[in-house]
Amino acid sequence: MKRTVDVNIPLGPIHPCFKEPARLKCEAKGERIVGAEVELGYMKKGIERIMKGRPWQEVMFLAERVCGICSVIHNMVFIEAMEQISSIPVPPRAAYLRVIANELDRMQSHLLANFSYCYTIEHETLGMYLLDLREQVMDELERLTGARVTCAYMIPGGVRCDMPRHNAEILSGSLDRIERDLRRYSGMFADGPMIALRSRGVGILTKEAAQRAHAVGPTARASGITTDGRLIHPTYRQLGFVPLSRTDCDNYARVMVRFDEIIQSISLIRKCLQDLPKGVIRGGGVCKGGETRYSGEAPRGELTYFIKSDEYGRIVDIQIQTPSIMNIEACCHEMIIGADSIADVTATFVSADPCIACTER
């Protein structure tokens, strides 16, 4: 006779579907998940503690080492926070180049997140197509900044190197190819019947639950919340940025929001290339003492730095609130609860694009 039992199912710390170590303790009634708990601490870096007492010239390199996937935005938020403290202006050309670097970083991060999802639901072909596309984006990021990850492209008062005209033409050509391929792949995802079975109506995060957990980024925007840090960024406002959102609240919506945002990033980069102002890329400036809270829109959502520096630009105190903290919490305490099958747990977890490196900063 069939019997329903309560079981605890531990997932991780090492799991084929997880990019980084974390432990999910799922409580199930039969196959239905009724509760989940997260255990962290397998890769704690203590980077905030390492940053304290060091000059900003060292901390800017440490900041982008918080996360290898979205290193550009950590660099950008830290530098812009220091600029805010020290009232350092950024030349218009440098501001546009920052947006290009940041959007390329967003594109590769979203492509990697969607690859992970496709891999988790065992659609490896589409996953590999997306990884191939990501390599092309990484090449463009390397052409612009000189490195694939931890580029240290942004410095107070500007950026490290300019974009020559021929590089802009190469980037423009690459964007055309990437957009053409991406539209085909996102169409494959959008119309795939097997993908829909694994993704539609799975891992529901209601708008209210997302607000309670302070979910951010594509995870929140897939639940109908039109929040985006780029809305208040002066350069993005010049570019007429408008956030994208969906209201399906499921795994499918989260992946599709990322596909939509990659297309949007391509448009933003094209607009930057078209309107790229002439002039210097470094205006200079001195980092001073002060205290600020500064947020930027990372690929996964709102990234906030709380910084206190002394008169020599040394970091006295720093706290980093990464988007993955909010999104993993929303995922494990809202999305996973009520999942009909254990197989949906990993898919739902990966759909929130969890970054344990960011969480264990």
Partner 1 sequence: MSGYLYEKDLVPQKYRILVSVRHDKLVREIASELEMPVQELRRYLIEHLDMILLENLPARAEAAGTKLSDNGEVATALGKEKYTLFIPILPVAAMDSIFRDVNERVRTGIPVAEAVAYGRAQIREALRR
Q: Which of 102, 104, 51 is nearest to 75 (CA)?
A: 102
Tell me which stretch binds partner 1 (CB under 8 A): 250-258, 266-274, 318-326, 338-346.
318-326
Residue number, 142 or 310, with CB nearest to partner 1: 310
Q: Does 170 bind partner 1 (CB under 8 A)?
A: no
Q: Does 321 bind partner 1 (CB under 8 A)?
A: yes
Q: Does 84 bind partner 1 (CB under 8 A)?
A: no
Tell me which stretch binds partner 1 (CB under 8 A): 41-49, 82-90, 117-125, 126-134.
41-49
In the block, residue with structure tokens 């329903």: 4
Widest CA span of the chain, in angstroms? Answer: 78
Residue number, 151 or 298, with CB nearest to partner 1: 298
- The burial class, CB within 10 Å (0-12 / 13-18 / 19+), for 166 is exposed
Residue number, 174 or 348, with CB nearest to partner 1: 348
Supply the minimum distance, in Å, between the C-beta of residue 195 and partner 1.
28
Q: Let me know the angle formed at the C-alpha of 17 by 16 and 20, rounded to the nearest 5 degrees.
A: 85
> Using CB under 8 A, which of 168, 256, 332, 345 touches partner 1?
332
# residues contacting partner 1 (CB under 8 A):
26
> Using CB under 8 A, which of 15, 54, 214, 246 touches partner 1?
214
Residue number, 120 or 359, with CB nearest to partner 1: 359
Q: How far apart are CA 175 and CA 34, in angstroms?
A: 44
Q: Does 38 bind partner 1 (CB under 8 A)?
A: yes
Q: Does 333 bind partner 1 (CB under 8 A)?
A: yes
Q: Does 351 bind partner 1 (CB under 8 A)?
A: no
Of residues 288-307, those binding partner 1 (CB under 8 A)? 306
Supply the minimum distance, in Å, between the C-beta of residue 206 and partner 1.
12
Residue number, 11 or 175, with CB nearest to partner 1: 11
Q: Does 40 bind partner 1 (CB under 8 A)?
A: yes
Q: How far apart are the first and last CA of the chain?
A: 49
Do the bridges between strand 301-309 and strand 290-298 make them parallel or antiparallel, or are there none, so unpaired?
A: antiparallel
Residue number, 253 or 325, with CB nearest to partner 1: 325
Interface positions with partner 1 (CB under 8 A): 10, 13, 23, 37-42, 44, 48, 211-214, 306, 317, 319, 321, 325-326, 328-329, 332-333, 359
